[in-house]
């Protein structure tokens, strides 16, 4: 059969979401489309794809990206009428993306100059509209450049210029295009993009309304509250004679948490070390290897408890064996029966010396029915880069199971937990062990005062402490934190330590 003679003329155009492999092409396209403006940095584009991949769209023609658009979701009332591009995009990182917001905010549309007569821009705008409709968003809002304004700035104000464009007396490549795509002018923004010389740093704020929008309770500007109740277990290490006795003790605490309708119950680091009290191996490294044989029983126990009592369990940590290496692993047991793991990353000299523990190599953020969370075991909280990274990935609760043998070790954990709460405007939760196992080497003494810590500001409890246990006592505390207050605080208060970071001069990169 002869080849189809028309095949050579075929073009393959695809509209799809941007992927990590496209980042270099996107940056190159920006340099072509906006030669006098700073392009996205790779770390910013990676942040877009991590936080809101659905909002990052491109047009591909025969394998080449010839156009793209970027967006995030916001509650627009959270921002001042005269906002800047840096403010609305979180300096290009979109960590302010709000999945419960009402509007899609368009950050950028660009089309390769050689393809600007092929309706590429219109296709991208239609893709945005479909996304807004699929997500039941009220509107699309854009801060549009007015690149033709510099030609008229000596005789027209920005508002007069926009009105002339609206009357079609002047053609502006951006504003005219947006009007043709159903956008209406709301106001003129000043100092929107300081390096946009063609627009003289002005921009037009425009809106497209989704006529199919259906208001729902989940789209209220602010919920009255989003309470999350946490039961912190300050666990007593005491001699037991069987795994069943350990299970009974753990179930007691989960039952108590469920009685108080807790969303989370938190156990300490190394909670299963209590099992060594009935194992007869006196060598610490060999005893820990024997402890790993209880992994299946440990996982089965806490999975069943999470489902039975309808509570998410931070199961402290347990030593597991992988490829003949021992790791200290924190576990999340969701109340729907699913399980997640966070390997401890920073291993202390003591853990290496006595137990031969190895460090993990991945930092995780977990989705729960109460939002995104992170688990950082004991000394991991002492490394601020970890908390900054999980906060950038959306975590608002950081759980810190710990095990400390003296007050100095405990205070390092506590003070760092409080610092991380302030730096990242998150809640941090510590849970430690008390008591002693006199006949178990290296688990002979314990020191703890477990607690829940908040940012230090007027919206939160005095001293940034939502609740603390009594020192060195077997007990639990019930603390309720409000995720809605935290969300408002991160946007609108005077002290915004997370938002106001100088990402123009420093940034954090996590190697996957």
Q: How many C-beta atoms surround the C-beta of residue 151 within 10 A?
A: 13
pLDDT digits (tens, 9 = 90+) for 13-59: 899 999 999 999 999 999 999 888 888 899 999 999 999 999 999 99
For 12, 313, 327, the CA distances from 5, given in Å and listed in that order, are 17, 64, 62
Highest mean pLDDT among 89-98, 347-356, 404-413: 404-413
Q: Where are the beta strands (DSSP E) in 190-310?
A: 203-209, 227-237, 264-267
pLDDT tens per residue across span 291-301:
899 999 999 99
CA 55 to mean position of chain CA atoms: 16
**Which SS3 state, helix, strand or coil, does residue 401 take?**
strand
Residue ranges of the chain that CATH labels 3.40.630.30: 11-213
Start-to-end Cα distance in the chain: 49
- Do 305 and 333 meet the contact criterion of CB atoms below 8 Å apart? yes
* pLDDT score recorded for residue 226: 84
Distance of CA 104 to the CA centre of its chain: 19
Higher pLDDT, 386 or 504: 386
Task: Reply yes or no on whether the pLDDT at 394 is more than 60.
Answer: yes
pLDDT digits (tens, 9 = 90+) for 95-154: 889 888 899 999 999 999 998 878 899 999 999 999 999 999 999 999 999 999 999 999
Distance CA 155, CA 24 (A): 41
Average pLDDT over residues 418-437: 94
Q: Identify the burial level of 1 via C-beta atoms within 10 angstroms of its C-beta, where 0-12 means exposed, 13-18 middle and 19 or more buried.
A: exposed
Long-range Cβ contacts of 118-122 (<8 Å, 24+ apart): 120/59, 120/66, 120/67, 121/67, 121/177, 122/181
Name the nearest CA neighbour of 93 among 45, 52, 54: 45
Q: Are 390 and 414 in contact, with CB atoms under 8 Å apart? A: no
Q: Per-residue pLDDT tens for 159-191?
A: 999 999 999 999 999 999 989 989 999 989 988
Residue 86 has pLDDT above 60, yes or no: yes
Q: What is the C-alpha to C-alpha distance for residues 354 and 87, in angstroms, rounded to an integer?
A: 50
**102 CB burial (10 A radius; 0-12, 13-18, 19+):** buried
Rounded percentage of the chain residues whose pLDDT exceeds 70: 93
User: Which backbone phi and psi does 256 adopt, to 5 degrees?
Assistant: -60, -45
Residue 442 has pLDDT above 70, yes or no: no
Q: Which of 3-7, 95-99, 285-289 comes out lowest in average pLDDT? A: 3-7
Q: Is the pTM for the entire model greater than 0.85? A: no
DSSP 8-state code for residue 200: T
For the chain, give the mean pLDDT: 89
Q: Report pLDDT for 485.
A: 84
CA distances from 351 to 43, 288, 326 (A): 35, 11, 11
Those residues with Cβ within 8 angstroms of residue 135's Cβ, 6 or more apart along the chain or in another chain: 54, 73, 104
Burial of 3 (C-beta count, 10 Å sphere; 0-12/13-18/19+): exposed
HEC string of 259-288 equals HCCCCEEEECCCHHHHHHHHCCCCCHHHHH
Residue 443, CB-side half-sphere exposure with 13 Å CA sphere: 28
pLDDT at 475 over 90: yes
Looking at domain 11-213, its CATH architecture is 3-Layer(aba) Sandwich (3.40)
CA angle 109, 111, 113 (to 5 degrees): 145
Residue with the two structure tokens 């990242």: 424
> What is the reported pLDDT for 356?
87
Q: What are the structure tokens assigned to 38, written together?
A: 């700073």
CA–CA–CA angle 443, 447, 449 (5° rounding): 140
Inter-axis angle of helices 295-309 and 243-259, nearest 10 = 20
Q: Alpha-carbon distance 135 to 396, whole Å?
A: 23
What is the pLDDT at residue 369? Answer: 87
Q: Please give the helix or strand (H or E) that residue 438 lies within, else none.
A: none
**Which band of pLDDT confidence, cut at 50, 70 and 90, is reported for residue 4?**
low
Contact 454, 481 (CB under 8 A): yes
CB-count burial class (<10 Å; 0-12, 13-18, 19+) for 248: exposed
All CATH 3.60.110.10 domain ranges of the chain, comma separated, are 227-492
Mean pLDDT check: name the lowest of 5-9, 206-210, 346-350, 366-370.
Answer: 5-9
C-alpha 274, offset from chain centre: 34
Q: Is the pLDDT of residue 417 over 50?
A: yes
Q: Give bridge partners of residue 313 from the DSSP assignment.
A: 265, 333
Fold for the domain defined by 227-492: Nitrilase/N-carbamoyl-D-aminoacid amidohydrolase (3.60.110)
Question: Does the pLDDT value for residue 220 go beyond 60?
Answer: no
pLDDT for 451 equals 97
């Amino acid at each position: 059969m002869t080849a189809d003679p028309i095949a050579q003329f075929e073009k393959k155009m695809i509209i799809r979401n941007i992927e990590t492999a496209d980042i270099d092409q996107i940056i190159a396209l920006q340099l072509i489309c906006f030669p006098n403006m700073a392009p996205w940095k790779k770390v910013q584009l990676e942040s877009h794809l991590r936080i809101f991949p659905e909002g990052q769209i491109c047009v591909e023609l025969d394998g080449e990206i010839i156009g793209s658009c970027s967006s995030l979701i916001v509650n627009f009332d959270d921002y001042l009428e005269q906002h800047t591009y840096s403010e609305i995009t979180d300096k290009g990182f979109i960590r302010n993306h709000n999945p419960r917001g009402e509007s899609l905010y368009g950050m950028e549309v660009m089309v390769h100059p050689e393809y600007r007569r092929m309706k590429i821009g219109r296709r991208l705008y239609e893709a945005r509209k479909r996304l807004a409709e699929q997500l039941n968003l009220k509107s699309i809002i854009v801060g549009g450049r007015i690149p033709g304004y510099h030609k008229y700035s000596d005789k027209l104000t920005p508002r007069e210029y926009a009105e002339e464009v609206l009357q079609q007396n002047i053609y502006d490549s951006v504003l005219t295009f947006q009007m043709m795509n159903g956008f209406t002018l709301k106001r003129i923004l000043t100092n929107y993009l300081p390096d946009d010389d063609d627009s003289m740093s002005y921009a037009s704020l425009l809106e497209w309304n989704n006529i199919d929008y259906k208001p729902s309770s989940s789209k209220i500007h602010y919920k009255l509250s989003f309470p999350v109740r946490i039961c912190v277990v300050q666990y007593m290490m005491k001699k037991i004679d069987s795994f069943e006795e350990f299970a009974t003790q753990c179930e007691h605490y989960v039952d108590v948490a469920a009685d108080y309708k807790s969303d989370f119950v938190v156990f300490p680091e190394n909670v299963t070390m209590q099992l060594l009290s009935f194992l007869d191996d006196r060598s610490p490294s060999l005893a820990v290897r024997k402890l790993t044989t209880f992994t299946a029983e440990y996982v089965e126990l806490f999975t069943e408890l999470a489902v039975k009592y309808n509570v998410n369990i931070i199961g402290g940590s347990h030593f597991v064996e992988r490829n003949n290496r021992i790791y200290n692993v924190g576990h999340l047991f969701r109340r729907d029966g699913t399980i997640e793991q966070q390997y401890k990353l920073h291993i202390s000299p003591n853990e290496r010396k006595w137990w031969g523990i190895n460090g993990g190599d991945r930092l995780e953020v977990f989705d729960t029915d109460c939002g995104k969370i992170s688990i950082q075991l004991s000394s991991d909280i002492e490394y601020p880069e970890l908390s900054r990274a999980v906060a950038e990935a959306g975590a608002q609760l950081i759980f810190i199971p710990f095990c400390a043998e003296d007050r100095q070790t405990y205070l390092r954990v506590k003070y760092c937990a409080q610092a991380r709460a302030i730096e990242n405007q998150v809640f941090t939760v510590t849970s430690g062990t008390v008591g002693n196992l006199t006949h178990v080497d290296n688990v002979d003494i314990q020191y703890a005062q477990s607690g829940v810590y908040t940012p230090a500001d007027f919206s939160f409890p005095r001293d940034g402490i939502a609740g603390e246990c009594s020192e060195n006592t077997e007990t639990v505390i019930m603390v309720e934190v409000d995720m809605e207050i935290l969300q408002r605080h991160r946007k609108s208060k005077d002290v915004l330590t997370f938002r106001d970071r100088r990402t123009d001069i420093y940034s954090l990169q996590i190697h996957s």
